[in-house]
Chain A
Amino acid sequence: MRFFTATVLGLLTSSLAAATNLTSPSRLALPADFKPQQVFKNTNLVRNTNLEKGYVRETINVVVENIDKQAQSDYYIPFPSDVFERVGGFEVRDKKATDKGRFVVDATEVVSASGNQYFIVHLPEPLAPKSQITLGISYSVLNSLSPRPATIGQSDKQYLHYAFSAYVPSAYQTITQKTKVKFPSTDVPDYTTTSDLKSGADPERKGATFTYGPYDTAKVVPGTEYPIAVRYEFTNPVVTVHLLERDLEVSHWGGNLATEDRYWLRNNGSELTGQFSRVDWTFANYQRAPTSAVREITYPLKPGSVDPYFIDDIGNVSTSRYRPGNGKTAGNLELKPRYPIFGGWNYSFKVGWNNDLAAFLRETAKPDSWVLKVPFIQGPKASEGVQYERVVVRVVLPEGAHNVRFQTAEGSSSNGLPGANQIHASLSSFKTFMDTLGRTTLTLEVDGLTDEARDAELIVTYDYTLMDALRKPLTLFGGLLSVFIALWAISNIDVSIKKR
């Protein structure tokens, strides 16, 4: 059976992939001693580091000037290769014209000499010599916050530790730069104070925001590091989705869009020093004290979502509640895991629901061509944020759908997704409910997302004709007919050994 599916799948992919825009991200290989040419200068650089959530969100605004004699179009952004793998949702725009959309960005392999990996930003128009452009670079870094102390008592406060360099890593010379760090609260017991970088107190504290700099770094060699470490209170779970598998099943016959999200969740916060004490938890829960454990997950659903379910490997989790929205407002699925998820604990579960397809699908002006617009991920909504190490979105289109293309909706600000060329897309066939050919399935794989991508929309266009829709009823009709004919034929055979 499996073998059979595999063969069909193979045939199908080759025939369908031709007409699509499916990509798989490739990384450019660079020479071992590669160094970006010093053709740019960062005139002014401001980095905003946001630590309010369980991951690091950075936005860098940098004024870039071309100091070469020729027009240049490739701007290199370096990351140490261990950080590079954890960078998610990388996006660069022209700060002055954000609605023009993101720039095309390529990733590179590790350059062995420096241990760096680069994002290459392709400016849409080469930057003329002496002219300037303001880049808005935004990305998030996953799993870069470590709890200190690593183990805490059940009702203790949790502190996270974050280390970075006072000098923003850049491939080019930077004239002035500063870093603003935004903490979730003013409780920051430990932080590095610099002594010789600038005159006056460094950092400057203002509420929950610390400012390192501005530094005059015209003479500092690019790539120099000045380590800074901060430790701040974060008595919230560090929710990490190790893997999210999301299935969207489109049924034209049923007029239904069925969604199922499968989560493998982990809390990356401080682990418990001792063991879990139910008594303490009962009392803490009664007082609604802040905790580093996941107590509840709120999961907003689109308006009109029906039949939600919340199950895990051993069945229905009865501790959930669905508050359906009325008409236009979004519903809320309130999930309570079977047990509180403390640091280091895992929890895997599935949620799913149905939607009326009409709200997501429409036929284009071209006949038999359809466009589907669905949320890329939906995920829990939590003030402490959610980071996704790996997301696999599978859109199961009706049997016979072909000419599949996808894109992500772009607005004037970041949608939390990486560029389309960083999304691994593939087509396959999925057989279910008496399919003969199998349903065309678009699989999108992305590493390193955060819950900012909750607003991202996925747009899939495909062709689907009437004959495709009629395939299954006709097959069933034919199948049953042949069964009846076979039965009739068999019943007419005389196998008796008696003489009549």
Chain B
Amino acid sequence: MAQSSLDVLLKGSSGKSTRGLLRIIILLTIAAAAVASRLFSVIRFESIIHEFDPWFNFRATKYLVQNGFYSFWDWFDDRTWHPLGRVTGGTLYPGLMVTSGVIYHILRLLTIPVDIRNVCVLLAPGFSGLTALAMYLLTREMSHSPSAGLLAAAFMGITPGYISRSVAGSYDNEAIAIFLLVFTFFLWIKAVKNGSIMWGALTALFYGYMVSAWGGYVFITNLIPLHVFVLLCMGRYSSRLYISYTTWYALGTLGSMQIPFVGFLPIRNSDHMSALGVFGLIQLVAFAEFVRAYLPGKQFQKLLTSMVLLTFGLGFTGLILLSVSGVIAPWSGRFYSLWDTGYAKIHIPIIASVSEHQPTAWPAFFFDLNFLIWLFPAGVFMCFQNLKDEHVFVIIYAVLSSYFAGVMVRLMLTLTPIVCVAAALALSTIFDSFLVMTKPTPESKEKANADKSKAFSSTKKPVVGIYSYFSKAIVTGSLTIYLLMFVAHCTWVTSNAYSSPSVVLASRLPDGSQHIIDDYREAYYWLRQNTEDNAKIMSWWDYGYQIGGMADRPTLVDNNTWNNTHIATVGKAMSSREEVSYPILRQHDVDYVLVVFGGLLGYSGDDLNKFLWMVRIAEGIWPDEIKERDFFTARGEYRVDEEATPTMKNSLMYKMSYYNYNSLFPAGQAVDRVRGVKLPAESPTLNTLEEAFTSENWIIRIFKVKDLDNFGRDHSNAVSFDKGLKRKRATKKKGPRVLRTE
């Protein structure tokens, strides 16, 4: 400020526009940084869709682009869940696909030749840039400090907690949902502040978009009513609140019901009842307020309050009764598992088998949020100091999402935005106090006191100023270091933890050059090119979407997991003896069975390591036939070597994994590099399946299901005949020989 030459630019009305311009430039730079930091995988590998679920979204988007919106809406997919099929159009959140479809068509209209794959790959980074902007808007509503919004935008742009779900190629619902979440909250705050129908309607509009995009919309459905409820309880009812809430609820609920997958859930499902309840409550409160305006009196108010509580209680019991009687759908399993982390493991193993549904490990908070995690409580505390309606929202959001993030790893994603807001509030306060050259003057003291007098008396305190340059330098210096470390940490985490497509694996050769292990696509492409168009592929459900997307072949089960019994059937086929499995395979028209085997390469995410989940899920349906205990040795170990239990050794999964594996090694020296054990000297024999394809590093093994034997023998006899073995006597009868009469 000492430079007078800059005064023209920084003061007065031109100063205002200078700052505005500067802010726009900063925001655009933040958005660019947010996009750029998500491109590691594109640069390192290629523009490719990552992991599992994105492959389905990509396939659905291609279908949408090729066949148009209406046939997408009515899409019945007979290439998954064979032989059941899936009513895909009615069981997905179409927001993501429609968004990229619209972008694609706009670009095509401008005759820019863009591939739909590239639109899909780059959608998440693009929207993360928008999220940073939305974050700026949201935080600006919380604080007067101009730096808070910018800091929050910067944090949101690069924090790993959000990057984990939005790197290029991670084409999942969360890619656009987090932007919608933040923006809906911004609109809501705006609506509450202004009491404007326009903002309320906009909130509802974006809420509807959010509903179409992600199942996590329930978070908004519950958070906004909770905010209103808390405000009501704090005695902060206002016509602003009434207008914004009723507008949002009426329009938003109608909007959300337009999505076939959601349908009538908003009025029938327990998850949505709090919004309805608060809607009723706010009518009562509004009525009471209206009456009170005409009939003041303490007695009346007490009566009214008790009336309100009574009605609420009645409504609540009615709700419980309706739930019990079944009119309102009971809480879903995923909901219960939010409150009891052990629930899923016992009752619904299929939910527990997904790694992202596990409770969060504590270091994950630091890993994903770095220094924001300890600024977070400070920011929440500052909201208490300045407790306006919007700050109540921040506090509620912070408390709820902290809990959820602790329960389930993937919900770290909903925690991240509020952490960024709170941390930015805290940090901007620190910077606003420490990063000024001028010392506090008595004048400003008075002014500050005047400001404070409006706030709560409990938060009133003498004004504090920083006089020493030394302490200013120390604090700002250390915070700058923290910020720099934050950037370094984010870059490191993004680069190392979140940028692997997981379809393609990278390793380093001894000379330091990158070697790409591309077994998945090798095998999928083989299936795509060299099997019949409707050959049914059976694999564990993890690979269902990838097979559908890359191999373009029908699958039995996929990551949609809507039918637990069907998955358990596959689990049973994998974990039973061949004699049991073969009829199951035949009944389901299976042509090929695909297993993932990491033993040669030391790739730990293979099917044998997931095997126990298959057993558990199958056991849930057939407790008499499949028993988890049988797969453990007497000492309770899960082993695959010589000591493995007979059930284990005879299971189809074990046989397929190790079939013919020992011939790669000198006799008796076959080693499984994942489990680090020496394998039995003899290869398992397969009678009903034959090896059809094995990828270069053995990660994917595909087996063809044999047809029935031409001579009507059973397969084990046929195989031993082909090998030239003597036919086994069917049964050794101990009694005397008798003439067969029949």
Contact = CB atoms under 8 A, between A and B. Distances in A.
Q: Is the A/B pair a real complex?
A: yes
Interface of A: 1, 274-279, 282, 312-319, 338-339, 344-348, 431-435
B388 interface: no
B518 A338 contact: yes
Interface in B655-698: 660, 663-664, 690-696, 698
Contacts of B516: 318
Given A279-B660, A279-B664, A314-B550, A432 B111 contact: yes
B660 A347 contact: no
B521 A314 contact: yes
Contacts of B695: 278, 339
Interface in B691-737: 691-696, 698, 704
A339 B664 contact: no
Nearest to B698: A278
Contacts of A339: 522, 525-526, 693, 695
Interface string B535-576: 000000000000000100000000000000000000000000
B112 A346 contact: no
Prevailing SS type, chain A contact patch: loop
Contacts of B663: 279
Contacts of B109: 1
Contacts of B690: 274-275
A350 to B, nearest CB: 12
Contacts of A312: 525
A433 B113 contact: yes
Contacts of A317: 518
B110 A434 contact: yes
A346 B525 contact: no
A275 B525 contact: no
Nearest to A277: B691
Nearest to B108: A1
Contact of B46 (A313, A315, A348, A432): A315
B530 A345 contact: yes
Contacts, number: 73
Given A275-B693, A277-B691, A316-B48, 10 more contacts: A275-B690, A276-B694, A313-B525, A315-B521, A339-B522, A339-B525, A345-B529, A346-B530, A432-B111, A434-B110
Nearest to A266: B529
Interface of B: 45-48, 108-113, 504, 516, 518, 521-522, 524-526, 528-530, 550, 660, 663-664, 690-696, 698, 704
Contacts of A274: 690
Nearest to B48: A315
B111 A435 contact: yes
Contacts of A431: 111
A1 B47 CA distance: 27
Contacts of A275: 690-693, 704
A345 B690 CA distance: 18
Contacts of B45: 316
A353 B112 CA distance: 20
A401 B111 CA distance: 19
6 contacts: A276-B692, A278-B696, A314-B525, A339-B695, A433-B112, A434-B112
Nearest to A279: B663
B76 to A, nearest CB: 24
Contacts of A434: 110-112
The residue among A1, A316, A344, A345 with the most chain B CB atoms within 10 A of its own CB is: A316
B111 A319 contact: no
A319 B518 contact: yes
A28 B518 CA distance: 53
Nearest to B525: A338
B654 to A, nearest CB: 19
Contacts of A315: 46-48, 521
A313 B528 contact: yes
Contacts of A313: 525, 528
A317 B526 CA distance: 13
B653 to A, nearest CB: 19
The residue among B45, B48, B525 with the most chain A CB atoms within 10 A of its own CB is: B525
A317 B520 CA distance: 12
Contacts of B518: 317-319, 338
B361 to A, nearest CB: 33
A299 to B, nearest CB: 19
Contacts of A347: 529
B529 A278 contact: no
A432 B694 contact: no
B346 to A, nearest CB: 39
Contacts of B521: 314-315, 338
B529 A346 contact: yes
A266 to B, nearest CB: 9
Nearest to A265: B529
Contact of A276 (B47, B110, B664, B693): B693
A319 B696 CA distance: 11
B107 to A, nearest CB: 10
Which 7 pairs, one residue from A and one from B, show the smallest C-beta to C-beta distance?
Answer: A278-B694, A318-B516, A316-B46, A338-B522, A346-B529, A432-B113, A314-B550
A231 B525 CA distance: 34
Nearest to B690: A275
Nearest to A5: B111
A313 B110 CA distance: 25
A464 to B, nearest CB: 20
Contacts of B696: 278
The residue among A275, A315, A344, A431 with the most chain B CB atoms within 10 A of its own CB is: A315
Nearest to A349: B525
A312 B524 CA distance: 12
Nearest to B529: A346
Contact of A314 (B112, B528, B694): B528
A354 to B, nearest CB: 16
A361 to B, nearest CB: 22
B174 to A, nearest CB: 23
A276 B691 CA distance: 7
A77 to B, nearest CB: 38
A435 B690 CA distance: 54
B504 A318 contact: yes
A406 B110 CA distance: 31
Nearest to B517: A318
B238 to A, nearest CB: 23
A471 to B, nearest CB: 14
A431 B108 CA distance: 10
B113 A348 contact: no
Contacts of A344: 530
B316 to A, nearest CB: 43
Nearest to B518: A318
